[in-house]
Amino acid sequence: MKPPRYNPDWYRVKYSVAALHANAAAGLRAMAAQSASDEAARAKQRAEAETQLARRFAHELALASAETLQLLDQGLWRGARAWWRRARRLSATERIGLQGFLRNTMQPPVLVLLAGLQPSPRSEDRHSAPLETNDDLLAALRSGDPPDPRALTDYVEQSEPHDPRTDYNLACLYLSWGEVDLAADRLLRGLQGTPENQRARLIDRAFQDPTLNLWQSDRGQELKSELTDMRNALRAKVRAPAA
């Protein structure tokens, strides 16, 4: 029997739990902004509790991903723990598949989520120790210090290929940091990487998403016009009769 960390579904479930708490915290903060003083205070307390839970789950998942990648990269299919020793040896196909899943599918959204759960950095803040490898990331996550959100996003940005869903989440995160141009660029990059038959739906989602309200700025107005033209062209293409 393979240990849980060899199973991609284990990571998917953990990520869903972390995202659920993060979304709950965001909803409670929005409620606090619209409530009377007593209700706002209670909502803020609950939002902070949900944020702490989301941060804990996201950190645990990021750490598990980095640790498993290190074991796989080094060829240590059997770790020091008993459940690693009992695990059957992974085939080469399974190992390569799990490495690709962790590095390209799981790590980027987890690290973006974790970055968004940290205090927003000031525009002039820069991390002093860039995270260039998985070993660097693992050391940072094990250090006991809160992870540097810019170091996490820079680590995600250097990974390829870029996943459209991660680009969308990066756009939301950068906008929350006040970096409108960067948010717009990541949204466009995510759209370009999205299959053509799904782009119009993603544009609709972007227009309706309260966490991606970048349309008031000059850059946002330009982007909204560009996306509207793109959506209209995509829908016209779908409606056009076949030759």
- pLDDT for 29 equals 86
- pLDDT for 127 equals 56
Shared-domain flag, residues 10 and 130: yes
Mean pLDDT of the 72-80 span = 61
For the cut 70, the answer to whether the pLDDT of residue 237 exceeds it is: yes
Q: Which residue, 111, 139, 161, sits at the end of a domain?
A: 161
| pLDDT tens, position by position, 53-71 | 999 999 999 999 999 999 8
Residue-range definition of the domain harbouring residue 3: 1-161
User: Which one is predicted more confidently, 158 or 243?
Assistant: 158
- pLDDT for 5 equals 79
- pLDDT for 240 equals 60
Shared-domain flag, residues 40 and 128: yes
Shared-domain flag, residues 143 and 233: no
Shared-domain flag, residues 32 and 122: yes
For the cut 60, the answer to whether the pLDDT of residue 77 exceeds it is: no
Mean pLDDT of the 184-197 span = 91
Shared-domain flag, residues 107 and 171: no
Of 16-30, 115-129, 172-186, 217-231, the one with minimum mean pLDDT is 115-129
- pLDDT for 150 equals 93
pLDDT band at 76 (very low <50, low <70, confident <90, very high): low
For the cut 50, the answer to whether the pLDDT of residue 163 exceeds it is: yes
Total structural domains within the chain: 2
Start-to-end C-alpha separation, the chain: 55
CA distance 180 to 163: 20
pTM of the model: 0.85
Shared-domain flag, residues 126 and 225: no
- pLDDT for 85 equals 46
